[in-house]
Homo-oligomer: A and B are copies of this chain.
Amino acid sequence: MSDLEVITFRPEPAQFAWTFGGAAPVGRVRPPALLELYTEDCFAGRVRGTGDLVSQVCEFPFLNPQTGPFYVEGAEPGDTVAVHFVSIEPARDWAASTTVPLFGALTATHLTALLNEPLPEVVWLWQLDRAARTCRFTARSGEFTVDLPMDPMHGTVGVAPANLEVRSALVPDAFGGNMDTPEMRAGVTCYLGVNVEGALLSLGDGHARQGEGETCGVAVEAAMNTAVVVDLIKGVPCPWPRLESDTHIMSTGSARPLEDAFRIAQHDMVHWVASLCGIDTLDAYQLVTQAVESPLANVCDINYTSVAKMPKRYLRHGADCMEGAHARLRDLAAGYSA
């Protein structure tokens, strides 16, 4: 830890980024470096009570504020940025969730355009017990409460897109962005292919926890204090975001329909496993078929996100994923305490 440059950044409201690409860097990172960041929740902190309806207190397109972007020195197209999540800690003792009109998996939306009346707009405040590591749900109807385990994650992490594009922070795609996978938790390294010089990394959208698929479209949305180690892997491309934990490698795909998101993630995993195990593509297709876990991330955003998750213990012994970045960054962060 002692050698790592530490950058601390708590954005003022005017400093948030609302897009991937198109925003000026808020800082520069000489990799590897440790970033201590504050991220606001997806509502920009405006939903603070059950009367705070998104349609009234939030202003499109100013949703899902991102902390960043950071210019990663030396990053060029064809490289990969590695982001190791050291810690993700809720910054408040509450979090918010809502239904949003024409948004979510179980409702008519702007794209699944139907004649049914929209669902009512309802807000839930969740109580976070950071010592007990629980999130308390309280029903708006009836007398029902239940504690769920806290499992903090970032819904959104990404770099500037390719093809000269600028994308809303609400969108997940090949550049990362709003993937909304619960796998993006502390202890995990996220790999993002670089599309522009400096990569322009940003992140946000903390969730105290989230189910797989983010069914209603909104998780347990929380401001976060987050520490990441950022590094650069030169000359190694990464067409779609990949993740790595101590136990698993993961590929992601973001597309519609959902089977295409699944296909992208599995296709990447098949080729990755073939390479790591030194076997043919069809052999890897067979092995992945029998061994893969396929946790859904979101089935509500502009693109849906599917994850292919492969236990490392099934790979060839000593297989070297992404040049060993995960273990290296984990070790770099070992002494860190927020």
Chain A residues with CB under 8 Å of chain B are: 18-19, 21-22, 60-61, 97, 99, 105-108, 110-120, 122, 124, 126, 135, 137, 139-142, 144, 146, 148, 162-168, 170, 209-220, 253, 255-260, 262-264, 266-268, 270, 277-283, 285-296, 299, 304, 306, 314-316
Given contacts A97-B290, A137-B287, A218-B289, 18 further A-B contacts (CB under 8 A): A97-B286, A105-B259, A105-B262, A105-B266, A107-B114, A107-B115, A113-B260, A114-B267, A116-B119, A139-B283, A165-B165, A165-B166, A209-B290, A210-B290, A211-B291, A212-B293, A213-B266, A296-B296
A262 touches B258 (CB 8 A): yes
30 contacts between A and B (CB under 8 A): A21-B166, A97-B286, A99-B282, A99-B286, A111-B263, A113-B260, A113-B266, A115-B270, A120-B282, A140-B280, A140-B282, A140-B283, A142-B278, A144-B279, A146-B314, A163-B168, A165-B165, A165-B167, A211-B291, A212-B293, A214-B289, A218-B289, A219-B290, A256-B256, A256-B259, A256-B260, A257-B258, A294-B295, A294-B299, A296-B296
A267 touches B113 (CB 8 A): yes
Chain B residue contacts of A264, Cβ below 8 A: 110-111, 113
B263 touches A144 (CB 8 A): no
Chain B residue contacts of A259, Cβ below 8 A: 105, 256-258, 299, 304
Q: Top 7 nearest A-B pairs by Cβ distance?
A: A116-B116, A257-B257, A113-B267, A166-B166, A258-B258, A141-B280, A212-B294
Cα A50 to Cα B100 in complex, Å, equals 36
How near does chain B come to A228, taking the closest CB pair, in angstroms? 24
When the two chains form the complex, which single residue of B22, B287, B315 contacts A164, counting CB atoms closer than 8 Å? B22
How near does chain B come to A217, taking the closest CB pair, in angstroms? 8
How near does chain B come to A10, taking the closest CB pair, in angstroms? 23
Chain B residue contacts of A296, Cβ below 8 A: 262, 294, 296, 306
How near does chain B come to A199, taking the closest CB pair, in angstroms? 18
B280 touches A142 (CB 8 A): yes
How near does chain B come to A33, taking the closest CB pair, in angstroms? 28
Chain B residue at minimum C-beta to C-beta distance from A19: B164
A215 touches B139 (CB 8 A): no
Cα A215 to Cα B266 in complex, Å, equals 8
Cα A34 to Cα B40 in complex, Å, equals 48
Cα A16 to Cα B257 in complex, Å, equals 33
A263 touches B105 (CB 8 A): yes
Are A137 and B18 CB-contacts (below 8 A) given A116-B119, A215-B266, A294-B212?
A: no
A106 touches B280 (CB 8 A): no
B292 touches A211 (CB 8 A): yes
How near does chain B come to A206, taking the closest CB pair, in angstroms? 14
Chain B residue at minimum C-beta to C-beta distance from A254: B111
Chain B residue contacts of A110, Cβ below 8 A: 264
Chain B residue contacts of A299, Cβ below 8 A: 259, 262-263, 294
How near does chain B come to A307, taking the closest CB pair, in angstroms? 10
Are A111 and B260 CB-contacts (below 8 A) given A215-B289, A286-B137?
A: yes
When the two chains form the complex, which single residue of B119, B210, B214, B304 contacts A282, counting CB atoms closer than 8 Å? B119
When the two chains form the complex, which single residue of B165, B283, B288, B289 contacts A19, counting CB atoms closer than 8 Å? B165
